[in-house]
Amino acid sequence: MCSHTVCQSTVIDIFVQILEGSRKNFMGFRAKYDMMNKTGKGEAMIFYFTGTGNSRYTARRIAEISGRELIDINEKIKRQDTGSIDAGAEVVFVVPTYAWRIPKVVEQWIRDTHFTGAAKAWFVMTCGDEIGNAAGYNRKLCEEKHWEYMGTAQIVMPENYIAMFAVPKPSTARKIIQNAQPRIETAAEAIAAGRMLPEEKATSIDRIKSRMINPVFYSLFVKADAFRATDQCVGCGKCGELCPLNNIKTEGGRPVWQNRCTHCMACICCCPVEAVEYGRKSVGKPRYYLDV
């Protein structure tokens, strides 16, 4: 778990309040869900990938409501584990948005992994702003996997891309997470009931972003060259442990970044002493990590 102090206490606080505030809804919904299960509907296994915790949090909420098993894709990718998974009939992927699509590493992992028995797939994408035409690509992925496509939900959560932008201050992050609750609950209810997720129609600009800007973004920006550890580094090894791509080696007690990076922002946001910088872009910016 990350010990980053800027966000931790605030966010735990939010989490407890949200859970307490929504408990009634959960209980009512859970009862409905249990009934659906008795009639054979609503089986689902929830897979999540995360850099800074937003998608893990969202996946946990959905799992809590639906009572389904949660699987950590970070661990699978880190161990290069693409072994068959006995997934049941329904699979749910909760992931961040990278350049208006699901992260490439997750897409590849889904392609390479056999999900025994899976027939239907839902996608829940957390984002700082919007997901463009990610749904179009998720639909294609389902066609490849011979799954029925059950929709893509867009959940706006705090921005985490500190290599490019500023992240919201804790009070703003707290509001964004609160505002996300109805959409998370709507998605969880649709999944548990075996319904399609509500989707907005992609515009031509959305299609340009997901189709044309996405590959340019990866080739120009997604590199680890600019990462460095400052003299504040205490050699704790947390950045390397968290990196889902094993892209951080330790040399002389210090982290050194290699050339396999997906810009998930885990290493830079979770360093307990804020010793990771991304060129000059991150200098002086607060870090964001949702540690619940």
Ligand X SMILES: Cc1cc2nc3c(=O)[nH]c(=O)nc-3n(C[C@H](O)[C@H](O)[C@H](O)COP(=O)(O)O)c2cc1C
* Nearest Cα to Cα of residue 190 among 85, 120, 247, 243: 120
Which string of x and - marks every residue 20-59 that binds ligand SF4 (by CB under 6 A)? -------------------------------x--------
Give the type of residue at 80. Answer: Q
Q: Which is nearer to ligand SF4, 141 or 276 (CB)?
A: 276
Stretch that binds ligand SF4, among 5-13, 29-37, 149-157, 228-236 (CB under 6 A): 228-236
Stretch that binds ligand SF4, among 27-35, 59-67, 164-172, 237-245 (CB under 6 A): 237-245
Residues of this chain, 113-132, that bind ligand X according to CB under 6 A: 126-130
d(CA 233, CA 277): 11
Strands (E), the chain: 45-48, 70-72, 85-86, 90-96, 115-116, 120-127, 148-156, 227-229, 248-251, 254-257, 276-278
* Interface residue with ligand SF4, options 239, 282, 289, 291 (CB under 6 A): 239
d(CA 288, CA 180): 17
Q: Which is nearer to ligand SF4, 20 or 231 (CB)?
A: 231
Total number of residues that touch ligand X (CB under 6 A): 23
Coil vs helix vs strand at 141 = helix
d(CA 246, CA 266): 12
Contacting residues for 288 by C-beta, under 8 A, at least 6 apart: 6, 7, 52, 158, 159, 160, 162, 167, 168, 173, 265, 269
Stretch that binds ligand X, among 44-52, 74-82, 138-146, 250-258 (CB under 6 A): 44-52
Assess 229 for contact with ligand SF4 (CB under 6 A).
Answer: yes
Total number of residues that touch ligand SF4 (CB under 6 A): 29
Residues of this chain, 174-233, that bind ligand X according to CB under 6 A: none
Report the interface residues with ligand SF4, using CB under 6 A: 51, 224, 229, 233-239, 242-245, 247-248, 255, 257, 261-267, 271, 273, 275-276
